[in-house]
A and B are shown apart, each in its own frame.
Chain A
């Protein structure tokens, strides 16, 4: 399958940006500059980037608690992301959402979600509107842990019976926090979608080209009115479930060897090598992209640091599109 060179470079850029964004986030969490809970996407970059590369800008996605990578892959601006993670007024959600709810509705990111599986029905609803209005498509990202949530199954069925243009992308990174997927499920995840009459397949989630190829096919089917598909992208997160997990030395559920084995197949390094081998880019070109990313991230951090905190007097704003007398109720006087 042919990937245009420009797109290949862009996929490299986005994977690299996600990786470096997340590494920068870890530093900022450790320095107490980012409050709250953050979940890193390191290791899984090929999934978000491969899938979103198959989308048009006017397509939409729903995301998970591990959402930073999805936002960047969809074209999100790291300045507003960083500002949101730091809780600033200039952030995407004006400081009301933070890492777990980060969203950019303008570019079709309908929100990260702190409830496992909860984005799937919303993806279906958006897809229903898109199907009636034209040929836009929605991707629902969720983890392997979400496969045992009832609402995910309800959504699969709904998408199937309504022929919705949804691509369900299950990011199987083998663990739900500490629980190995094989201890809570008996069959292969993609086979469950088949049971609903949805075309489904496993995909190598460490290979951006493989993910892209599978996504192009699924998105084309959805766009042409062929209904939903299901991709089980097999991938791995190198870091803990959430950033502060490294402070819990007693929490052990994976071996160093296992982590190392997956690192051998690092999606960014392999993609870089492949591009060099194919003569699609030179070392200098790729180093140049890396440098741009560093500058963009430092700019984002500076932007966030310089941004004002939200004014506490505005804490009740945005609850309603049509605020009315007495609501939201004030909790103080």
Chain B
């Protein structure tokens, strides 16, 4: 199969879905010229009516998408950087997320929010390095965080065809990643995780670009005879609970590797869920590797200090392996 980059996978999914369904249209800042190339060539192909360059008015164009969805279209909103999600947060948390429920099911909102540049990149400092998904999960948004070009194309197409609002976060660290991607449209279902590498000693639950980090660490540890199981939830909400429980029960030792803030974050949710549902299978306390609760600092050594990475993962793996507790229920 041909190999393409993560960004190309985004472009291809958007293009094919705009071609397939005339109700799909895209809006955002500077999307006609498209600095990153995700919508390059779209105005020529679909016309300026379906490729809307928006003023710097995040709240308004977020609400605009809600209104357009209520009226029957299927908008795709591109946010240039993740922090803009906060600028639009009334229109997200109070409006789009609540509208179908508060209206008693009178509307469906098939909106795709494409968040470019998620996570830290090149010392972009406090306002350009966030992963805002804990806020979004809390508000009830379905959120996907694809870790490969293949997953990106399939999940993005699923999101566009989905009848609820879905956030698709695109980690900046993955833009250049190449991988096999079919040319024809296909879907990866929402809410289904994937074992990215099988192993029997420790289960690493990794999200976004940290899946790649976990795979690298797994290679290294394999040389020492330690087998990591790397599991990628792919969708943070809905979370593939059965898939999660299965991979946790395989090893009984869990490290969660998540690039967002610690308090009330995604890792906290997974850890709590495991305490509730998998306590019998756990052989060691669940370890969380997250960012601390500070904005990402500018200076390179400071930035390195707060971002989760391979070093912490190695440490955490060794920590959970030290525990000798036998699980109360042994699962074959």
What residues make up the interface of A, taking CB atoms closer than 8 Å to B? 60, 62, 91-97, 101, 103-106, 110-111, 113-115, 118, 120-130, 132, 138, 150-151, 154-155, 157-158, 161-162, 317-322, 324-328
Contacts and interface: CB of A to CB of B under 8 A. Distances in A.
B91 A154 contact: no
Contact of B104 (A93, A162, A325): A93
Nearest to A318: B105
Interface in B55-78: 55, 57, 59-73, 75
B70 A154 contact: no
B67 A115 contact: no
B241 interface: yes
A327 B97 CA distance: 13
B295 interface: no
25 contacts: A91-B104, A94-B104, A101-B103, A105-B106, A105-B107, A110-B67, A111-B99, A115-B95, A118-B63, A121-B62, A121-B91, A122-B64, A122-B70, A124-B63, A124-B67, A125-B69, A126-B67, A129-B71, A138-B67, A151-B90, A157-B60, A318-B103, A319-B140, A321-B108, A327-B237
Contacts of B311: none
A57 to B, nearest CB: 15
Contact of A155 (B49, B63, B75, B94): B63
Contacts of B59: 121, 150-151, 154
B238 interface: yes
Which 6 A-B pairs give the minimum distances between C-beta atoms? A125-B67, A121-B63, A154-B60, A94-B104, A122-B67, A154-B57
B165 to A, nearest CB: 9
B40 interface: no
B64 A121 contact: yes
Interface in B27-73: 49, 52, 54-55, 57, 59-73
A62 B91 CA distance: 14
B191 interface: yes
B294 interface: no
Given A94-B105, A101-B103, A121-B62, A157 B57 contact: yes
A198 to B, nearest CB: 14
Most buried by A among B49, B62, B102, B239: B102
Interface of B: 49, 52, 54-55, 57, 59-73, 75, 90-91, 94-95, 99-110, 140, 142, 162-164, 190-191, 237-239, 241-242
Given A118-B95, A126-B71, 17 more contacts: A93-B103, A93-B104, A97-B104, A105-B107, A110-B70, A115-B95, A120-B60, A123-B67, A125-B65, A129-B71, A132-B49, A154-B59, A158-B60, A318-B101, A319-B101, A322-B162, A322-B163
Contact of A96 (B49, B55, B102, B108): B102
A102 B162 CA distance: 26
Nearest to A94: B104
Contacts of B105: 94, 317-318, 321
Given A122-B64, A123-B67, A320 B191 contact: no
B91 to A, nearest CB: 6
A124 B108 CA distance: 18
Contacts of A115: 90, 94-95
Given A60-B71, A122-B63, A321 B100 contact: yes
Contacts of B238: 324-327
Contacts of A103: 103, 106
B102 A118 contact: no
A103 B164 CA distance: 19
Contacts of B52: 162
Contacts of B101: 96, 318-319
Contacts of A93: 102-104, 106
A62 B142 CA distance: 26
Given A129-B73, A318-B104, A121 B140 contact: no
Contacts of B62: 121
Contacts of B104: 91-97, 318
Nearest to A95: B104
B112 to A, nearest CB: 14
Contacts of B103: 92-93, 96-97, 101, 103, 105, 111, 318
A319 B67 contact: no
Contacts of A120: 60, 63
Nearest to B63: A121
Contacts of B72: 129
B164 A320 contact: yes
B100 A125 contact: no
Contact of A125 (B63, B90, B110, B242): B63
Given A96-B104, A126-B70, A132-B49, A324 B190 contact: yes
Contact of A128 (B68, B90, B109, B190): B68
Contacts of A124: 60, 63-64, 67
B128 to A, nearest CB: 22
Given A124-B60, A155-B60, A318-B101, A130 B71 contact: yes
Nearest to B70: A110
Contacts of A151: 59-60, 63, 90-91
Most chain A CB neighbours (cut-off 10 Å) among B64, B99, B237: B64
A123 B68 CA distance: 8
Given A118-B63, A129-B72, A320-B100, A154 B237 contact: no
B237 to A, nearest CB: 6
Nearest to A152: B60
A321 B106 contact: no
